[in-house]
Amino acid sequence: MKDYNVNKSEAEWKEQLGLERYKILRQKGTEFPHSGKYNMHFEEGTYVCGACGEPLFASNSKFNSHCGWPSFDEALPGKIEYVKDTSHGMIRTEIMCANCGGHLGHVFDDGPTQTGQRYCVNSLSVDFKE
């Protein structure tokens, strides 16, 4: 296992996060599309890791991708870890918080902005700070 700046036992994570967030952030789950509170949220501020509070995405990088999950075209520098994911018969790039290893979602090369990126993030894996 990788050593992150924030390390806790699975029991500590489960107690801190609750079952829904634990399933997403620690067990690499996915929330149902169009169910997350940040899917259509467009206020100014910063999206932070739902497990450790590390800033991950600026609100000006968020866009409506119509995919059912919050989408961003870039992450804050050095805040995301990228891991090849071959689960479910697909080849994707998983995105994780570089500070605690929490699962955020996946990044795809089909974004409509100049970056060409679409960071597809579970609402349960982030919080919002104005």
Q: Which residues participate in catalysis according to the annotation?
A: 120
Calculate the CA dihedral of residues 86, 49, 74, 67 and round it to 10 degrees: 60
Q: Which of 126, 123, 73 is nearest to 99 (CA)?
A: 126
> For the purposes of burial, counting CB atoms within 10 Å of the CB of 69, is it exposed (0-12), middle (13-18) or buried (19 or more)?
buried
- Counted residue by residue, the chain has a size of 130
CA atoms of 18 and 14, how far apart (whole Å): 5
